[in-house]
Amino acid sequence: MIDPVLRMKVQASSSLYFFVRYFWDCYSSDKFVDNWHLKKLSEELEIVARRVSEGKPKLYDLIINVPPGTTKTGLVSIFFPIWCWVNWPWMRFITTSHSDFLSRESAEYSRDIIRHDKFRYMFPEIDIRGDKDVKSNFRIVYFKDDKPHQGGGRVSTSVGARIIGFHAHIIIPDDIIDPRGVLSEATMKTANNYLDQTLSTRKVDKKVTATIMIMQRLHQNDPTGHLLAKKKKKIKHICLPGEIKNYYKFLKPQEWDKYYSDDGLFDINRLDWDTLEDLEMDLGQYGYSGQIGQNPVPAGGGMFKVDHIQVLNRAPHYLDQEMLVRYWDKAGSKDSGAYTVGVKMCKLKSGVFVVLDVKRGQWASNEREAIIKECAIADGDQCMVFVEQEPGSGGKESAEATIRNLAGYNVYADRPTGDKVSRADPLSVQVNNGNVQIIAAEWNYAYIEELRNFPLGHYKDQVDASSGSFAHLSGRKMAKVW
């Protein structure tokens, strides 16, 4: 009769997917939520690990793009290294994320699983060295013929950190850009340089060591885009949109479409259509397209569906207004080519947003400050005034000058974060869903045309000021990325 423990041990050792399911309760008290992608991705990870274990030159590095909240970190950063140690205890890993906290947390979960009674019962030969047991850096010891042997280990780090004296057989960058942070060219450059200049030097054997990067898409030049541009033929790219009704062409491999639901859903339990609709409202078009659709293309003309904007003949009654804001985006100077724009917007108790007035012009500084004060007087005490503070000392001084000019009014400096497209995204969702109205006036044509052509149009000041007003009316201080 076959020993049932031995049978389970063989099955867990041979299948990463089974290993994850069997030891899930060592990791989380939440119920394991299965989906087809966990088995398919496990098989892909096994292929990479087995080739590394045999010392064969790698065929490719692996990039996996998958929506958030789908157990990607649990599978790749937490369970996968342990499964490899069960089979090849000498393997060494570098795992990295955008923050030290997240990277250390994944390592700690791995340690907890190894220490769990359930794991020790099945794999008593695998343990953690007592003198090399810290969250960010621990080593494996394995017992063979009742004798301890030096095993592999794991270094957990973050973007920008140095790695000294440790080389890996497998490198795992897991969300090395913060999906909830602010995207910028500097952020992209830092992450991509870290891949190129730091992680690339930490390989045991450059021909054998494999990189397995997992993330959702955030930007055209995010680490996925960066590596694909550099190594098109040396990367296996698995790209799994949250739905293929609108994003089928981004699915890789496309033969995996057979695993999607009949109505095109990637995961009917985690990401049904109601959940996806809520995510689009939270993320905006740009964020949703990247993180759910895996298509991080900046929205072109048509980001704002201006035909959905209703034009009102008169302003709503003040009793129907919940909050009132005027947001100023100031041009650097009269000759800069840009416009100074002040957008007055209110939020109605019904949840609709109304653009009440737009002041726009190319004015010298004294004239501009006079007009800003005239607007504050006309808008009244109930209207909060925000002035965009540009980076640097000059931007700070300009904002402070306006605040002094408006002494006695509710006026604040605002330091927006993120690029103009990301900041405009939440507003575009409301426009496209018919929740934004404007008051009929002479400024309507220039305003609507700027929205229509954004971000490809020449001017963006009215959109930027509108985004600022909307951010404060809706409680959003920055473009939200999940």
| Rg, C-alpha atoms of the chain | 27
Shared domain for 233 and 126, answered yes or no, is yes
Residue 449 pLDDT: 85
The number of residues making up the chain comes to: 482
Residue 288 pLDDT: 85
Average pLDDT over all residues of the chain:
90
Residue 480 pLDDT: 34
Q: Which two tokens stand for residue 207?
A: 């021909």
406 part of a folded domain: yes
Statement: residue 219 has pLDDT above 50: yes
Whether the Cβ atoms of residue 382 and residue 396 lie closer than 8 Å to each other? no
Q: How many helices (H) and strands (E) does the chain have?
A: 16, 15
Shared domain for 9 and 154, answered yes or no, is yes
User: Could you tell me which residue, 476 or 368, shows the higher pLDDT?
Assistant: 368
9-39: pLDDT as tens digits: 999 999 999 999 999 999 999 999 999 999 9
467 part of a folded domain: yes
**Mean pLDDT computed over 376-386:** 95
Terminal CA-to-CA distance of the chain, rounded, Å? 52
User: Could you tell me which residue, 184 or 296, shows the higher pLDDT?
Assistant: 296
Shared domain for 199 and 318, answered yes or no, is no
Instruction: Lowest mean pLDDT of 63-72, 101-110, 258-267, 275-284, name the range.
Output: 275-284
Burial of 6 (0-12, 13-18, 19+ CB in 10 A): exposed
What CATH number is associated with residue 129? Answer: 3.40.50.300
Statement: residue 309 has pLDDT above 90: yes
Domain ends where: 215, 239, 263? 239
Domain ends where: 239, 274, 291? 239
Domain extent at residue 121: 4-239
Statement: residue 271 has pLDDT above 50: yes
Residue 456 pLDDT: 67
Statement: residue 94 has pLDDT above 80: yes
384 part of a folded domain: yes
Shared domain for 196 and 317, answered yes or no, is no
297 part of a folded domain: no
Residue 479 pLDDT: 34
DSSP state string for 386-420: EEE--SHHHHHHHHHHHHHHTTTS-EEEE---S-H
Q: Which two tokens stand for residue 450?
A: 């700027």
Statement: residue 182 has pLDDT above 60: no
Residue at 33: amino acid letter: V
* pLDDT band for position 476 (cuts 50, 70, 90): low
Domain ends where: 239, 269, 296? 239
287 part of a folded domain: no
Shared domain for 321 and 464, answered yes or no, is yes
**Mean pLDDT computed over 50-73:** 95
User: Could you tell me which residue, 79 or 449, shows the higher pLDDT?
Assistant: 79
Shared domain for 206 and 331, answered yes or no, is no
Distances, alpha carbon 375 to alpha carbons 245, 368, 385, 409, 411, in Å? 47, 11, 10, 11, 12
Residue 281 pLDDT: 81
Shared domain for 176 and 312, answered yes or no, is no
321-332: pLDDT as tens digits: 999 999 999 986
Residue 132 pLDDT: 64
Distances, alpha carbon 140 to alpha carbons 24, 97, 119, 363, 416, in Å? 21, 22, 14, 68, 46
What CATH number is associated with residue 404? Answer: 3.30.420.280
**Mean pLDDT computed over 172-180:** 88
Shared domain for 231 and 343, answered yes or no, is no
Shared domain for 313 and 234, answered yes or no, is no
283 part of a folded domain: no
147 part of a folded domain: yes
Instruction: Lowest mean pLDDT of 134-138, 149-153, 199-203, 265-269, name the range.
Output: 134-138
461 part of a folded domain: yes
Statement: residue 286 has pLDDT above 90: no
User: Could you tell me which residue, 137 or 140, shows the higher pLDDT?
Assistant: 140
Distances, alpha carbon 129 to alpha carbons 72, 80, 115, 143, in Å? 27, 19, 12, 12
* pLDDT band for position 350 (cuts 50, 70, 90): very high
**Mean pLDDT computed over 235-248:** 95
> Sheet harboring 170-173: ordered strands across?
126-134, 137-144, 147-158, 92-97, 170-173, 210-215, 61-65, 235-239
Whether the Cβ atoms of residue 122 and residue 12 lie closer than 8 Å to each other? yes
Give the residue from 289, 307, 314 showing the smallest Cα distance to 433: 307
Whether the Cβ atoms of residue 250 and residue 295 lie closer than 8 Å to each other? yes
Shared domain for 234 and 312, answered yes or no, is no
Looking at the 3D structure of the chain, how many domains does it have? Answer: 2
